[in-house]
Amino acid sequence: MPAKPKLTLEEKVSLAIEIIRRVRPAREICAAYGVSHTTAYEIREAFVRGGTESLRMQNPEHRVERRLRKLERLLLRSIGSLPEPAEDHNGDGHDGDGEK
């Protein structure tokens, strides 16, 4: 039996919002998206914890891509091809992606 296709980010956001709004029973929402009750509530919890960004980061590929981008920036700065940032974007000592 082939694996179920993964939900897109937009589908996950839509599912989370439907679960939160409770317009129809959870079992109907789960059936519509082809996911289990457990998966639906895991998606909902991820959305509640961190919104869309949290859902995006559930995918291990995105974590690897994010880390790779950060390493590329550090490498370019170390060889002088990328200017040092004037200051962080949100004033909390983080570079905007939750890491220092």
Look at residue 61 in the predicted model and tell me its pLDDT: 63
pLDDT digits (tens, 9 = 90+) for 37-87: 999 999 998 888 887 676 666 666 666 677 778 888 887 777 877 666 665
| Confidence band for 4, pLDDT divided at 50, 70 and 90 | low
| Calpha distance 100→97 (Å, rounded) | 8
Contact 15, 33 (CB under 8 A): yes
∠ CA(40), CA(41), CA(47), 5° rounding? 95
pTM: 0.50
| Residue 21 structure tokens | 């709004």
